[in-house]
Amino acid sequence: MGLLGQVARRLMPRPWPGFSRRALQVLHLWLGGLGLTAATMAQATPPDVIVSAEFVEPTTRYDHAILGDNVEWGALLLHVDACSGCEGRRTYKIIIRLPETHVFEDLEPRIIEGDDSPTLVMVVESSLTLGARLALYDERGLYAATPFIGRPHRWLAPIGSADLDGDGWPEVAYIDRPHLAKTLRIWSLRDGELVEVASQAGLTNHRIGEDFITSGIRDCGAGPEVVTVDSGWTRIVASRLEAGEISSRDVGVFYGQASMERALDCR
């Protein structure tokens, strides 16, 4: 069934945010001296989990209008469960406000699986002078980000996040400049950093002025695939990440959003 770029498949559980896998080895030794286990501590102190997110504080300070109008967003509102798994939700709110030189140039925030935290929010953040970057936020602020494209009025269109190559780490995928470069880029998230692992030209997922993105991630039983359209907007293309390389195949005619939805639903 199609993942639609919203939520990554579940990775191995982690006790709480902020610990790398190497740090967990030390943690096991320390807890063992106390007669405790990491699993016991995870039950006693469950991590904060972002349960929903939304853009707030509309602004017109960036005159790009790539999504159909000139209204972007100045802040991100997170609803966070402070005791995930506890009886009764203990939710608090966090507002992450950008500087006047940045905006969120996006349709909606996407909650994804983190590397060492249970949840992150994936957004497109644009600088008024340097263009867009893909950014990941948690309740403490900016967690990781790709570099800005480097010029104003240059944008990227997010696709989604999943463990695309089966190595236990989440990847994020987007189309770099879907109207110009038309390049699929995949980055791996490890220990709080995004590292680019592969790219492929000739793919896109957005046309100027559209208020939607034509792509997603699906798993039809043989592992996750990134689904986009070709640069000419005539064919639907499914791409896999294997051994650091992207392989793509034609999966049908593109005739509008309905055809993309069918492809994401493995039909």
- Among the listed ranges 13-17, 185-189, 195-199, 213-217, which one has the minimum average pLDDT value? 13-17
Q: How many CB atoms lie within 10 A of CB 10?
A: 9
**Which tokens sit at 105?**
């140039």
- Of 136, 182, 179, nearest to 160 (Cα)? 136
Mean pLDDT computed over 180-199:
98
Q: What is the mean pLDDT of residues 65-73?
A: 97
- State the pLDDT at residue 45: 58
- What percentage of the chain exceeds 90 in pLDDT? 79
pLDDT at 67 over 80: yes
Residue 87's pLDDT is 78
For the segment 127-146, the average pLDDT, to the nearest whole number, is: 98
Q: In which band, very low, low, confident or very high, does the pLDDT at 5 lie, cut at 50, 70 and 90?
A: very low
Tens digits of residue pLDDT in 51-66:
999 999 999 999 999 9
The pTM of this model reads 0.83
- 80 pLDDT higher than 50: yes
Domain locations along the chain = 21-264
In total, the chain counts a number of residues equal to: 267
